[in-house]
Amino acid sequence: MKNLLKYMKGYGKECILGPLFKLLEATFELFIPLVVAAIVDTGIANGDRGFLVGMCLVMVALGIVGLGSAVTAQYFAAKAAVGFAGRLRHALMEKILGMSYTQLDRVGGSTLVTRMTSDINQVQNGVNLTLRLLLRSPFVVFGAMIMAFTIDFEAALVFAGVIPVLCLVVFGIMLITMPMYKAVQNRLDAVTSSTRQNLTGVRVLRAFTMEQAQTEDFDEKTQRLTAAQLTAGRISALLNPLTLVIVNVAVVILIHVGAIKVEHGILTQGLVIALYNYMSQILVELIKMANLIITITKAVACGGRIQSVLALEPDQMNGSADGAILGAVEFRDVSARYDGSAAPSLENIRFIAEPGQTIGVIGGTGSGKSTLVNLIPRFYEASAGAVLIDGKPVHSYDLESLREQIGVVPQKPQLFKGTIRENLLWGNDKATDAQLWAALETAQAREVVKDKAGELDAPVEQGGANFSGGQRQRLTIARALVRKPRILILDDSASALDYATDARLRMAIRDMKDPPTTFIVSQRAASVRYADRILVLDDGELVGQGTHEELLRECAVYQEIYYSQFPKEVR
C-alpha cells in the first residue's frame, strides 16, 4: 500500500489541513464536558440564570465552530481522496493498456475490472476516513484521558486501564481480519468473472439451454463469496460489542468511584458528569476507530492487489526503429508458445511475404492461424526464431510506430458506443469524410452506412448491437483501411459475409492504389483461393505453402479442406 502513496503527490496541503481541522474540531469537543460541569456546579447549583445562558451560548459557539471545522476537514479529505483515486485509476488503466496479450491472459479480465472499480473505491474510502479520523480519534481518546487526570487522578486511572485493553481488542481483530478481506476480494474476482462470461455469452447459453447450469455455478461462487464475507464480518462485528462491554464496565467503575468522592466532598457532581462525558467520548471515538480499522484493513488488502498489477514489469522490450515500412514480412523458423501451455502453438514456421502480396492462411480449428498473424504486430512474442519486417526483427521497431502502420481486424468484430464516424476515426483521427467513404467503399460497407439515418453520424450501440454480424465485420474492416496500413491482417474477419461480398472485398483490396501486404486468415478455401501465396497450417506446423493450384496438387491437408467445401465432381 505504501508504494501507492506516490500518487498523493500534489495533495500535501489537503493531507495536512484535513487532519488539522479535525483536530481543531476535537479540541472544541473536549471543552464541552467542562462547560457542562460549570453549568451544573455553578449555574444550576446557584440558580444563576445569566451564567446558564452564557454557558449555553458558549456551547452553541463551540458547536458552530466545530461544525465549520468538520465540514472544512471533510472537504480537504474528500478532495485528496478523490484526486488520489483518480490518479490511481489513471495509472492502472495506463498499465493495463500497456500490457502484452500474455500478461492480460495471465492476470484475467475480470480481475482487472474488479481492481479498477471495487478495489480502487475501497482504497478511496480508506484514504478519506484515514485523513479524517486517524489523528482525531486517538487525539480525543488520549485528550479525554488527560482532561480526566486534570479533574481527578484516581478516577482517571480507570481511563488509563481501559484504553490499553480497548487498543488490544481493536488491533487484534484488525490483524485477524486483514487476510480475510483479501480472500473476500479474490472471491469477488470469481463472481465478476462468472458475471462477465455469462453476459458476453448469453446467446450461446440460451442456444445450448445452459441457463440452469450457469445459474447453479454462479450461485456456488456467490455462496463462497458470501461465506467469506460473513466470516470476516462476524469477526469484525465483535469490535462494537466488545468495546461497548469494556467501556460500560469502565463507566460503572467510574461512577462508583465518583459517587464515593462526591460523598466525601472531593469531587462535585458536575465534575463526575464531566468524567462520564469524557468516557462517552472515548466510547464514541473507539467505535469510529474500530470502523476506521475495518475500512483501512479492506483498503490495505485492495491496495496490495492494485499494487500487484502496477508492479508488473513489461515483458516486451520496445525498439527504437521507426519510419515508414514497405510491408515485407519474413518468418524464420518461428515457434510460439502460450503462457502455461505444454506444447507450442506454432513450430518452425518459415515463409516470406513481399510488399503488396496477398497471403492466405488456412487450416483447421486450433491449427495456429491467429497465433501466426498475432506475432506480426507483436501482440504475442515468438518463443524461438525471428519475425522480420522489411528485413529488420520486429522487436527492433518502436511498438507505437509499428502498429500505426498495421491494420488488424480481429475474429470478433468490436464496435464502440458512439457514431459510425467516431468508430472509423479510430483508424485515423485526422481522416476526412472523403477518406472515410473511400474506406467504406473498399470494405463493401458504403450501402450499410447510406441506409442509416444520419449516415456517418448514425449511432452505434455498445458492441455494435444495432448492426448485423456481417455489417459489423465490414465496418471494422473499413476502420482498419482508414489507417492506410502497409500490412493488413484480416483474421477470419469475413466469416459472416456471403461468398459474393467476400469476393468483392478481396478484389477491392487488391485493386487499391499501392495495396498493403494482406494476410487473410480463413477456414474457407474460397477466401484464400486467389491469394498470391497460401500457408497451410496443421496442428501448429506449416505443412504446405504455395498457390492454390500448387497446393491442390501437393498438399494433402489443403486437398482435404478444399474438397470438403468443393466436391470433386465440380472441380
pLDDT digits over 109-119, tens only? 778 888 888 88
* Torsion angle of C-alpha atoms 400, 401, 404, 407, degrees rounded to 10: -100
Q: What are the pLDDT digits (tens) for 461-487?
A: 888 888 888 888 899 999 999 989 999
Q: What's the number of domains the chain is made of? A: 2
Answer yes or no: do 97 and 212 share one domain: yes
The pLDDT of residue 571 is above 60: no
The pLDDT of residue 170 is above 80: no
Answer yes or no: do 561 and 447 share one domain: yes
Answer yes or no: do 498 and 422 share one domain: yes
Find, among 109, 241, 122, the residue nearest to 181 by Cα: 122
CA 236, 242, 247, 250 torsion-angle sign: negative
Contact 148, 162 (CB under 8 A): no
Q: What are the pLDDT digits (tens) for 487-508?
A: 999 988 877 788 888 888 889 9
- Which of residues 250, 280, 310 is at a domain's end? 310
The pLDDT of residue 71 is above 90: yes
Q: Quick one: average pLDDT of 236-259?
A: 82
204 within a domain of the structure (yes/no)? yes
Answer yes or no: do 244 and 378 share one domain: no
Question: What CATH code is carried by the domain that includes residue 191?
Answer: 1.20.1560.10
Least confident range of 196-205, 356-365, 369-378, 556-565 = 196-205
317 within a domain of the structure (yes/no)? no
Answer yes or no: do 19 and 164 share one domain: yes
178 within a domain of the structure (yes/no)? yes
Least confident range of 38-47, 50-59, 128-137, 406-415 = 38-47
Q: What is the per-residue DSSP string for 78-108?
A: HHHHHHHHHHHHHHHHHHHHT--HHHHHHH-
Answer yes or no: do 255 and 393 share one domain: no
Answer yes or no: do 390 and 457 share one domain: yes
Average pLDDT of every residue of the chain: 86
Q: Quick one: average pLDDT of 181-195?
A: 81
pLDDT value of position 190: 82
The pLDDT of residue 48 is above 80: no
Q: What are the pLDDT digits (tens) for 361-412?
A: 998 888 889 899 999 999 888 889 999 999 999 988 988 889 889 999 988 8
Answer yes or no: do 285 and 354 share one domain: no
318 within a domain of the structure (yes/no)? no
Contacts within 8 Å (CB) and 24+ apart, 461-464: 461/417, 462/416, 462/417, 463/414, 463/415, 464/413, 464/414, 464/415
Percent of the chain with pLDDT strictly greater than 70: 99
559 within a domain of the structure (yes/no)? yes
321 within a domain of the structure (yes/no)? no
Q: What are the pLDDT digits (tens) for 115-162?
A: 888 889 989 999 998 898 888 888 888 888 888 888 888 777 887 888
Question: What CATH code is carried by the domain that includes residue 334?
Answer: 3.40.50.300
pLDDT value of position 568: 61
* Torsion angle of C-alpha atoms 281, 287, 292, 295, degrees rounded to 10: -160
Q: Quick one: average pLDDT of 416-435?
A: 90
Segments forming the whole domain that contains residue 78 = 2-310
Distance CA 221, CA 227 (A): 10
Answer yes or no: do 151 and 237 share one domain: yes
Q: Which residues contact 462 (CB under 8 A, 6 or more apart)?
A: 416, 417
The pLDDT of residue 303 is above 90: no
A 10 A CB-CB count for 176 gives 14
Answer yes or no: do 514 and 438 share one domain: yes
479 within a domain of the structure (yes/no)? yes
Answer yes or no: do 476 and 386 share one domain: yes
322 within a domain of the structure (yes/no)? no
- What is residue 515's DSSP assignment? P
Range of 57-66, 234-243, 260-269 with top mean pLDDT:
57-66
Answer yes or no: do 192 and 160 share one domain: yes
